[in-house]
Structure 1
Amino acid sequence: MPARRRKVAALTALGVVPLALTALAAAPASAHGTMGDPVSRVAQCYAEGPESPKSDACRAAVAAGGTQALYDWNGIRIGDANGRHRTLIPDGKLCSADNEEFKGLDLARADWPATRVSAGPYSFKYRVTAPHKGTFKVYVTKAGYDPAHPLAWSDLDLDHPVATATDPVASGGFYTFSGTLPERSGKQLLYAIWQRSDSPEAFYSCSDVSFGSGHTGGSGTTSNSSPAPTASAPSDRQIEAGADKSTVKHYGHGDADARTSGDPTAAAAANGPQAAGTSENLAETGADDSTSYLAVGGAAALALGAAALFLSVSSVRRRATGDGGRHGR
């Protein structure tokens, strides 16, 4: 290859590097979500303010687990759940999904702020910070539930979910889907599981609710119990204000599972060739935005590898040509 053509080709290959890095940097940051209505415990406490929560229950949660759990409100998850929720999460740790960071949410108290509800149709709103394909299931506690005792799987009416939704469309920062609440009285709890279908990852949340007018407390009592205040969700402004303090992994999910890790090349390899496919493939498989980020990352990695290989071959050829010239003299 003439020297001029080699130079042009090398410069072209080098140009791929910044373009690939730009593509990686341009991939949108992503996190996950929690129940917004009825308000989840972690969303309620975040809305009160992680550094100085107002309710007794949220102050106790911070005392038990620290403030970081509230800044990471959208990260109560298990990366390799794959539907094995009851196997992976022990009784007493459902609200934290057995995650030490969120252990304050498992406190057995009758004074958690509650959303007032009544039996009948209910429109659930799940606050989402990254859309994923998957199925939502929401369960309610059985009649006779006592919030002063640790929440166990047996406390939930698992045979009759109050809401089920597959691949709802996110709008305005929420997934909205319908369900029906049964007859209950007093303080109850709604447990939401969001199992992704494009990954084994699942998300969990606990929402305290109060059935019937005048019911803001619970059937149980605690030594420091007081009437539970009405729950309120964080505003968009509050969420934006605390985003820089979150440690929830962006551009990935921060777990050991290659399919949900922050390494786009590993994720593409683990998920198969469609993970780095074309936009047509994404549409055919029903993949979401996060999958397209993996495709961008995988393409960028391939481009970087190609550039390095080309430069390496060019260097070898130049040395070989130079050596041949010297030997011929």
Structure 2
Amino acid sequence: MNRKRRLALALGAGIAPLLVVTMPASPASAHGYVSSPPSRQAQCAAGTIECGPIKWEPQSVEGPKGLTSCSGGNSQFAELDDDSKGWQVTPVGSSQSFSWKLTARHSTSTWQYFVGGRKVAEFDDGGAQPPETVTHTVNFGGLTGKQKILAVWNIADTANAFYACIDVNIGG
């Protein structure tokens, strides 16, 4: 082995452990959130609204399936449940496309959308692994005015789901 090659291998072997220690770790709970229209956690991440730790991990609003809170029952992200916080409201028509940004693509059972506790749409993925961006078009029927949409991503192979709330003004 020539001298330059041995030096390169030695440098690589010496630097690799240093890189592992100094590189930022990926969040263990990185998964997904509604990016458009901007969900409450997307607004936090963008700095539109002052928020706590959710600013750094908008994709981490995970909790047991069946919850109805914007925080997914996670006390660390409780401010997502505060309807008086001044969330940006997006004007939409009688139907709207919602785009999820996924940072970990879990096998998916269903995607659900609720308004006022009533399910307005469900999309069944039958356990498929989704792409990095998933978009659904939701028809709101006769609903109008300012509404809070609860979007839920139900994971197929765990008891958990991911939650996002989006504030909209239907027909506004």
* TM category, shorter: 0.7 to 0.9
**Residues 44-71 of structure 1, C-alpha deviation per residue, up to 9 Å, x if partnerless?**
12112xxxxx5xxx23xx3xxx2x2210
Mapped partners of 1:37, 1:163: distance in 2: 18
1:210 to 158, 169, 172: 169
> Given the superposition, is the C-alpha separation of residues 211 and 178 from structure 1 closer, same or farther in structure 2, using an over 3 Å criterion?
closer
1:162 is matched with 121
Residue type of the alignment partner of 1:102: F
1:197, distance to aligned residue in structure 2 (A)? 0.7
2:9 is matched with none
Is 2:107–2:155's contact at 8 Å kept on the other side of the alignment? Answer: yes
Alignment of 1:122-271 (within 5 A): 122-134=96-108, 135-141=110-116, 156-158=117-119, 161-166=120-125, 167=128, 169-170=130-131, 173-213=132-172
Unaligned runs of 5+ in 1: 1-24, 49-53, 142-155, 214-329
2:56 to 41, 62, 71: 71
> Given the superposition, is the C-alpha separation of residues 138 and 205 from structure 1 closer, same or farther in structure 2, using an over 3 Å criterion?
same
Tell me the SS of whatever aligns to 2:118.
coil
Is 1:76–1:97's contact at 8 Å kept on the other side of the alignment? Answer: yes
1:110, distance to aligned residue in structure 2 (A)? 7.4
Unaligned runs of 5+ in 2: 1-19, 21-25
Once structures 1 and 2 are overlaid, which stretch shifts more, 30-39 or 202-211? 30-39
Tell me the SS of whatever aligns to 1:108.
coil
Tell me if 1:37 matches 2:36.
yes
For normalisation by structure 2, the TM-score amounts to 0.73
Tell me the SS of whatever aligns to 2:80.
helix
Residue type of the alignment partner of 1:157: R
1:104 to 73, 79, 86: 79
> Is the radius of gyration larger for structure 1 or structure 2?
1
How many equivalent residue pairs? 146
Give the % identical residues.
Answer: 29
Mapped partners of 2:54, 2:146: distance in 1: 24
Mapped partners of 2:157, 2:46: distance in 1: 30
User: Which structure carries more strand by proportion?
Assistant: 2
1:168, distance to aligned residue in structure 2 (A)? 6.8
> Given the superposition, is the C-alpha separation of residues 185 and 194 from structure 1 closer, same or farther in structure 2, using an over 3 Å criterion?
same
Is 2:147–2:170's contact at 8 Å kept on the other side of the alignment? Answer: yes
Mapped partners of 1:168, 1:138: distance in 2: 19
Is 1:38–1:115's contact at 8 Å kept on the other side of the alignment? Answer: yes
Across the aligned residues of Structure 1 and Structure 2, the Cα RMSD in angstroms comes to: 2.7
1:116, distance to aligned residue in structure 2 (A)? 1.4
User: Which structure carries more helix by proportion?
Assistant: 1
> Given the superposition, is the C-alpha separation of residues 198 and 95 from structure 1 closer, same or farther in structure 2, using an over 3 Å criterion?
same
Tell me the SS of whatever aligns to 1:43.
helix
**Residues 231-262 of structure 1, C-alpha deviation per residue, up to 9 Å, x if partnerless?**
xxxxxxxxxxxxxxxxxxxxxxxxxxxxxxxx
Mapped partners of 1:114, 1:162: distance in 2: 20
Tell me the SS of whatever aligns to 1:162.
strand
**Residues 173-194 of structure 1, C-alpha deviation per residue, up to 9 Å, x if partnerless?**
3112333122222210110111
